[in-house]
Amino acid sequence: MFTGSSVALITPMKADGQGASSIDLEAFDALLAWHQQAGTASVVIGGTTGESATLDHEEYIQLLTHAVERLKGRVAVIAGTGSPSTEHTIHRTRLAQALGADAALVVTPAYNRPSQRGLLAHYQAVADASDLPVILYNVPSRTACDLLPETALALAKHERIVAIKEAVPDTARIQTLLDGGLCVLSGDDPTFVRSMEMGASGVISVASNIVPNTMARLCALAKDQQFDEARRINRMLEPLYAFLGVETNPVPAKWLLAQMGRCQDAIRLPLVGLDSQYHAKGQALIESIKAIDENMGGE
């Protein structure tokens, strides 16, 4: 589960009116089946891209239970369990283990802005609290909290802290983590091939929501050290990477999937649907990326 292409899966929803929405389990099932067929190594349920901040407790249980039932033994299920509260993160991690998840993805605590000593204590407490493998997740652009490489390497001495999803696109930082022996999963789609050239094991990707076949193929090429071909294909995805960043994730990803007929364009407040100024660019992008991904699925 700690190699290859993993998807930070969106949570498909139904628009119920007046800004309300409910989980679309039929679309969720179809997405899970699509990723299994495409060769996605693992799915992250209830992560940032899955709108974890606005999922209630019962919805989280429903999504995770559903994914485990449909994918167990075929595609690894990674539960997003991080929160600003250590106590709540421990509760979520224990719950994920009880529901059958294969690992926990634990983002740095947002808003609190803990020190590096605080991060050490936080993650050690979480890792001590269950038997579930823990993947550290560093995305300071979201959390205003940066897990520094030396802190991550200190945490990696814990037997259950097995990897890091590093979303800072800094080659020096990646190299330090790799040199320290930590399994690195890129959290930055535009630079993940470069990270894999350096020795990263894979990617936890937003783009994989849209082009799962292609992302799985890219990881396979990188694993086989066919970097020239990986770079060639990756350049074809650069317009997609750029589009996925025109507004806050997962707004563009959900809009693209809705246009592809894979979910409704429904998202929870305070996020709102993609601004109409980007629609024409998105429509122009869809046919090209669909063709690329379908071709990769045949290889």
17 band by pLDDT with thresholds 50, 70 and 90? confident
For residue range 163-179, what is the model confidence (pLDDT) as tens digits?
Answer: 999 999 999 999 999 99
d(CA 267, CA 275): 13
pLDDT at residue 20 is higher than 80: no
Evaluate whether 1 touches 41 at the Cβ level (below 8 Å). Answer: yes
State residue 2's pLDDT score. 86
Across residues 154-169, what is the average pLDDT? 98
State residue 35's pLDDT score. 98
Under DSSP, the state recorded for 108 is: P
298 band by pLDDT with thresholds 50, 70 and 90? low
State residue 299's pLDDT score. 47
Kindly list the catalytic residues: 137, 165
Domain ranges of the chain: 4-297
Task: Show the beta-strand stretches assigned E in 109-219.
Answer: 134-138, 161-166, 183-186, 202-205
Phi and psi angles of residue 186, each rounded to the nearest 5 degrees, phi first: -65, 140
Q: How many CB atoms are located within 10 Å of the residue 186 CB? A: 26
CA distances 205 to 6, 54, 75, 275, Å, are 6, 20, 15, 23
Provide the mean pLDDT of the chain. 96
CATH code that applies to domain 4-297:
3.20.20.70
18 band by pLDDT with thresholds 50, 70 and 90? low
Q: How big is the chain by its Cα radius of gyration, in Å?
A: 18
Evaluate whether 106 touches 126 at the Cβ level (below 8 Å). Answer: yes
d(CA 102, CA 27): 23
For residue range 122-131, what is the model confidence (pLDDT) as tens digits?
Answer: 999 999 999 9
Task: Show the beta-strand stretches assigned E in the chain.
Answer: 4-8, 13-17, 20-23, 42-45, 76-80, 103-107, 134-138, 161-166, 183-186, 202-205
State residue 187's pLDDT score. 98
Question: What residues have CB less than 8 Å from 273, skipping those under 6 apart?
Answer: 251, 254, 255, 265, 267
Secondary structure (3-state) at 162:
strand
State residue 19's pLDDT score. 66
Task: Show the beta-strand stretches assigned E in 81-118.
Answer: 103-107
User: Torsion angle of alpha carbons 264, 265, 268, 273, nearest 10°?
Assistant: 180
For residue range 197-251, what is the model confidence (pLDDT) as tens digits?
Answer: 999 999 999 999 999 999 999 999 999 999 999 999 999 999 999 999 999 999 9
CA distances 119 to 123, 132, 178, 207, Å, are 6, 19, 20, 29
For residue range 83-121, what is the model confidence (pLDDT) as tens digits?
Answer: 999 999 999 999 999 999 999 999 999 999 999 999 999
For residue range 40-82, what is the model confidence (pLDDT) as tens digits?
Answer: 999 999 999 999 999 999 999 999 999 999 999 999 999 999 9
State residue 260's pLDDT score. 96
